[in-house]
Amino acid sequence: MDVVLDALGDRTRRSILERLSAGPVAVGVLADQLPVSRPAVSQHLRVLKEAELVVESVAGTRRLYRIDKSGLRVVREYFDRFWETTLDNFAILAEAEARDGSRGAKKNRRTLKG
């Protein structure tokens, strides 16, 4: 997972992934869309490929890159664990506050009546 998070830690690589979300793209096209050189784009793609976030295919003389859905699934599952824990903790807190709040409301009613 460290390789994946390191790969995603770079803004240019995240930009590449965003562009690939529309479908397969050649290196030259990506280089035209980014403020870095074609060799730099190739290097970023190599890092993304090693992290299993993109896959490469050959179409004639061009190399096309696309998102590796299984790689992104791993990332999502990793972050979902945090989200699930956060939601569970929120539910526990909300239930505790609801119990404490209803006790306080009953106490206030008794005071008003009394």
Task: Find, among 56, 74, 64, the residue nearest to 29 by Cα.
Answer: 64
Give the tens place of pLDDT for each residue, 73-101.
999 998 888 888 888 888 888 888 888 87
Give the tens place of pLDDT for each residue, 12-69.
999 999 999 999 999 999 999 999 999 999 999 999 999 999 999 998 888 999 999 9
Q: Which pLDDT score is estimated for 111?
A: 44
Residue 44 and residue 13 in contact, taking contact as beta carbons nearer than 8 Å: yes
Task: Find, among 52, 45, 51, 7, the residue nearest to 27 by Cα.
Answer: 45
> What are the distances in angstroms from CA 9 to CA 5, 48, 88, 103?
6, 11, 28, 47
- What's the pLDDT band for 109 if we cut at 50, 70, 90? very low
Of 37 and 107, the structure prediction assigns the larger pLDDT to 37
Distance CA 113, CA 6 (A): 63
Of 109 and 60, the structure prediction assigns the larger pLDDT to 60
